[in-house]
Amino acid sequence: MAAKWLKDTIFYEIYPQSFKDSDGDGIGDINGIVQKLDYIKELGCNALWINPCYDSPFKDAGYDIRDYKKVAPRYGTNEDLFRLFDEAHKKGIRVLLDLVPGHTSEEHPWFLESQKVQKNEYSDRFIWTDYCFQGASGLPYIGGESERSACYILNFFKCQPALNYGFYKVTEPWQKSFRDPEAMATREAIKDIMRFWLSHGCDGFRVDMAASLVKNDDDKKTGTSAVWKDVRRMLDLEFPDAAMVSEWSNPPLALRAGYDMDFCLNEPGGGYSTLMRDYYNHGGSAHGDRNAEDHSYFKKDAGGDINRFLDQYLTWYEDTRDLGYISLLTCNHDTIRPSYTLDPRELKLAYAFLFTLPGVPFLYYGDEIGMRYLDVPTKEGGYFRTGSRTPMQWDGSANLGFSEGKTSDLYLPVDTSADAPTVEAQEADRDSLLNTVRAILAIRHREKDLQADADFQVICSENDKPLVYRRGSLLCVVNPTGGKLETILPADISETIHGEVIFKIGEASAGNGRIYTDAQSFAVIK
Ligand code: NOJ
């Protein structure tokens, strides 16, 4: 069963490099996040996911960890992070850290020991073949770099050797079973890291590449799932309030393995999911081809069919609603920002839909003001992802209020366009994207029927009609088209509706068993 506090939770994802620089060195830091907690609270988010903020050579933006228990000096100290937990909790905000269990940095002391000829405690902490010319049959590997005459398996980039959780199907002499003591020792090491942060006040973890642990584990049901069930048992006993969200993109598997929430982002096996592609239509191309034909449902008159999204979503939802939550996100540090293809009005409708679905939603910093995907050179292994990682745009001051440091020292350049959106400008405009997001999050907190657990039923999702869905006793309607639409409600539904519009974007009304919507509108009806 998922942690109870998730019932009315909306997460805000912070890429710490780019959120707020408190000491003028050009890079965001923990104290900067503390300074902005009131902003996050007023926005309506009551939980954070912070990308890895640990000691690292930063060849993959911190997903290459050198010391799991130490805050990277560029972000501050462990004490700063403990204080962030405290300050956040005082304001009713929970904090998830990023757990990277599948790999370390090649500079992690475990790996430095592991690559030695002399047998030691860490020799089997990573996955090694048994000879320097013996490759790893199908798995990515590196040879020729270690003192030890063997090759090691990678989990992602070259800088990220895979930790050893064993193999489900053992097919080579050098492969160890996932039940072997060495694989168990890795599990214990990860639990130890979790205990460390949880006992200092963190509320749980976003788990990187959660499906990647046990190798040769095709269906993930027995091998990799066993690791997470084991972790869940530890949490239930020692930290029953802790929550975990997986980067797995298979809610039926992830939630059965003990996760509270699973992101729907990557299809198992990699690549961007059809789910997000149909939702925003830019995930299909990793490079975000702006000229590609755009079939996002929320794009005015693009003719997009929401059923491509709903078919997958409803199957997962029905299968998992008693187990935990599906987490949808506006985007994240690995994807193209939604403003790449959607204009502010289209974004309002897309977000209104996302934040009125069941489960636990995530908002990526800057998406609330429609920050743009920028064409910038790669930084710290970001490649095309770098364009979604630029500094938060707070106000019209130097560096858009992100940093008081020298512009030439900034971690990444800020948006220099004259109309770059900022929090300050949008706060002053009642109709801005920011104020609309605030209003949507506020109504979600006010109406239990819009929160994680309330029933969800699609009433009408035909492509030439608006999308109408029921949440508990409320009806929601989205008309993304450029024209007025009228929908006849099924009799059993119309009997339960008074017709009072309690929230709207654009114009909408209800009466006589019908819903009337203006072009590009959204409404919640009682
Ligand atoms: C997924 C993370 O979100 C991404 O940023 C990272 O590069 C890989 N996992 C490797 O850890």
Q: Which residue carries 């239990």 as its tokens? A: 448
Ligand 1 atom nearest to 156, measured from its CA: 10
Distance from residue 63's CA to the centre of ligand 1 (Å): 6
User: Is the CB of 449 within 6 Å of ligand 1?
Assistant: no
H/E run at residue 390: none
Distance from residue 456's CA to the centre of ligand 1 (Å): 32
Reduce the DSSP state of residue 12 to 3 states and report it. Answer: strand
Distance from residue 333's CA to the centre of ligand 1 (Å): 9
**C-beta neighbour count of 269 within 10 angstroms:** 8
Instruction: Please give the pLDDT value at position 301.
Output: 81
DSSP label of 62: T
Instruction: Report the distance separating Cα 436 and Cα 448, nearest Å.
Output: 19
Instruction: Please give the pLDDT value at position 290.
Output: 53
Instruction: Please give the pLDDT value at position 293.
Output: 56
Long-range contacts of 425-428 (CB under 8 A, 24+ apart): 425/395, 425/396, 426/369
Tokens at 416, concatenated? 């220099």
User: Is the CB of 456 within 6 Å of ligand 1?
Assistant: no
Residuewise pLDDT in 10s, the chain (526 residues): 899 999 999 999 999 999 999 999 999 999 999 999 999 999 999 999 999 999 999 999 999 999 999 999 999 999 999 999 999 999 999 999 999 999 999 999 999 999 999 999 999 999 999 999 999 989 999 999 999 999 999 999 999 999 999 999 999 999 999 999 999 999 999 999 999 999 999 999 999 999 999 999 999 999 999 999 999 999 999 999 999 999 998 999 999 999 999 998 643 333 333 444 545 544 434 444 555 556 678 889 887 888 878 888 899 999 999 999 999 999 899 988 989 888 999 999 999 999 999 999 999 999 999 999 999 999 999 999 999 999 999 999 999 999 999 999 999 999 999 999 999 999 999 999 999 999 999 999 999 999 999 999 999 988 777 999 999 999 999 999 999 999 999 999 988 888 999 999 999 999 989 999 999 999 999 9
Give the residue among 384, 389, 370 at the shortest CA–CA distance from 330.
370
Are 304 and 297 in contact by the 8 Å Cβ rule? The answer is yes
pTM for this model (two decimals): 0.96
User: Is the CB of 334 within 6 Å of ligand 1?
Assistant: yes
Reduce the DSSP state of residue 163 to 3 states and report it. Answer: strand
Instruction: Please give the pLDDT value at position 267.
Output: 39
DSSP of 334-363:
TS--GGGT--HHHHHHHHHHHTTSSS--EE
> Rounded to an integer, what is the distance from CA 119 to the centroid of its chain?
39
Reduce the DSSP state of residue 48 to 3 states and report it. Answer: strand
User: Is the CB of 227 within 6 Å of ligand 1?
Assistant: no
Ligand 1 atom nearest to 64, measured from its CA: 11
How much of the chain is in helix, strand and coil states, percent to nearest 5? 30, 20, 50
Instruction: Please give the pLDDT value at position 417.
Output: 97
User: Is the CB of 13 within 6 Å of ligand 1?
Assistant: no
* Phi/psi at 210 (5° precision): -60, -25
Ligand 1 atom nearest to 157, measured from its CA: 10
Q: In sequence order, which residues have a C-beta less than 8 Å from that of residue 375 and are 6 or more positions away?
A: 387
Distance from residue 139's CA to the centre of ligand 1 (Å): 18
Q: In sequence order, which residues have a C-beta less than 8 Å from that of residue 41 and are 6 or more positions away?
A: 91, 92, 93
User: Is the CB of 58 within 6 Å of ligand 1?
Assistant: no
Name the residue type at position 258. G
